[in-house]
Structure 1
Amino acid sequence: MRWALADGWTITRRELIHWVREPGSVLFGLAFTVMIALIFGYLLGGAMTVPGGGNYREFLMPGMFAMNMLFGIGTTMTAIAQDITQGVTDRFRSMPMSPAAVLLGRSFADMIDSVLLLSVLIACGLAMGWQSNGSAGDTALAIALLLMLRFAFIWVGIFAGLMAGNQAMVTAIQTMEFPIGFLSSAFIPPSTMPSWLGAIAEWNPLSSTVAAIRELFANPGIGGDSWVTQNAILMAVIWPLAMIAIFSPLAVRRYRRLSR
């Protein structure tokens, strides 16, 4: 384990050095995230009605936080696919290093990126008038649930990137982030959808995290009588753990079978 962690940190440092030498992609990602929050908050927000009343921006921002954890899948997939197509992954596999180091390093680097992104988005939300009305402990738990969801999505992205293997397939898979993200309670209540579609949206893992952090932030929520909605905090823990348990072994197995 020490060997894996040490080699994994070396791979993480490689990614951090890339960001320092080529900061454009990181800065663009941060700027794009802020722009989307401003568009929803100021351009579309005037037409939105919060279920049960309340400030729309306080309703919006938890959904924005969770959506950006989901959109990180594309970043992870792109980095994995680029290393494969450029032969970097094959070079790593030929070196005397832990087989888990490449995947661990990728996950560590993406978590650092996610913390930075979430910090900028929280600052943007505060500037827009959003605030957490919950206790300090509840606020910390909400942030932890967001990062836990992101860690689960990292392993989904690693596996998808390894399966895709090239940028064209990554782009095709990446388009699925939008229907998955919008088919949730991030921006609108599932009760406004057809009943069968609303049930799918309620059981979307993203919806559980959104509902949980709205509750912990004491922001306006959508309510709902379904079991999954009433137990949002529990499901916001179960869903990420289930995804990690499924996709991390699949990613490791796929990595070992590359080029065979």
Structure 2
Amino acid sequence: MTVGVAVPEWTGTVIERVTFGQALRDTAALAGRGLTRFRHNPHQLVDVIVVPIVFTIMFANIFGGAVSGSVTDYLPQLVPGVAVSVAVTTSVITGVQLREDMDTGVFDRFISLPIARVAPLAGLLIADTFRYLIATVVSLTVGVALGYRPDSVIGALAATLLTVFAAFSISWIFALMGVLMSKASAVQGISMLILMPLTFTSNAYVPTETMPGWMQRVADVNPVSHLVSAYRDLADGLTVSADLGWTLLGTVAIIAIIAPITVRTYLRRV
């Protein structure tokens, strides 16, 4: 299998081909660049470290008594909800960073190099999975510190991996928005308009039974609700449920449908 190499059109050079293995190496190198950027600019990780801490502590103490009677009883409801909502919301950054890199000319420099043309996009997406992992682990760690005790450690780890995979799949949608939209601020603004209702009209923070009838029906089919429920089922005994099946089906479908569209659109733009 061969992949196109980025060669500037003005050179008059015929586009060369690289092997699939070389494309993987190029992607890994640019993913490493993304991780190095986090090390040199640690402020880029503030949202995935500070936000889970603040949300978990604040919501536990504000809503714990009202929803479940106590903070400890509320944590099994809250911790999975915070972990999922923060990871999913963080996936917006992929589209924002992609648009910023395209606007500032970073990608122009990349495509002048003899590398696979898809490597800059794939490397960015892979590097951002590190952010989702941090957000999920911090949420779980803060919850444990407050008294949350998942029934299955293996289940909690599986739930963490599921959340990271789901956030990775959703990041393809925002990557497509980053390629199509003209400004990073537009990507962020529209993305949050989509994610905020999805997050709060779900079972992330409160049981859906307390919602009005029409909102309960919306929450029950909300993909965020399926992901949060799958997290709880895995953490509370490594239970394989229908919610897990729907979540896996949805994430795989997003990657299968959106990823090729994103790659084709990106390659036409670069």
**TM range, normalised to the smaller chain?**
0.7 to 0.9
Aligned match of 1:27 in 46, 52, 76?
Answer: 46
Give the equivalent residue in structure 1 for 2:13: none
Q: Is the CA contact 1:69–1:153 (under 8 Å) kept in the aligned structure 2?
A: no
Q: Is the CA contact 2:51–2:86 (under 8 Å) kept in the aligned structure 1?
A: no
> How many Å separate the matches in 1 of 2:40 and 2:154?
37
Give the equivalent residue in structure 2 for 1:3: 22
Aligned pairs for 1:1-260 within 5 A:
1-49=20-68, 55-134=73-152, 136-176=153-193, 177-218=195-236, 231-258=242-269
- SS of the equivalent of 1:55 reads helix
Q: Is the CA contact 2:137–2:160 (under 8 Å) kept in the aligned structure 1?
A: no
Which deviations, in whole Å up to 9, do the C-alpha atoms of 1:136-176 show, x marking residues without a partner? 44333222221221121121221121122312212321322
Q: Is the CA contact 2:96–2:187 (under 8 Å) kept in the aligned structure 1?
A: yes
- Partner amino acid for 1:6? R
Gaps of 5+ in 2: 1-19
- Distance change in 2, residues 1:114/1:56 (3 Å): same
- Partner amino acid for 1:193? M
Gaps of 5+ in 1: 220-229
Q: Is the CA contact 1:84–1:165 (under 8 Å) kept in the aligned structure 2?
A: no
Deviation at 1:28, TM superposition (A): 4.7
Q: In percent, how many aligned pairs have the same letter?
A: 27
**RMSD between aligned residues:** 2.0
Q: TM-score, normalised by structure 1?
A: 0.87
> How many Å separate the matches in 1 of 2:57 and 2:137?
16
Give the equivalent residue in structure 1 for 2:15: none
Q: TM-score, normalised by structure 2?
A: 0.84
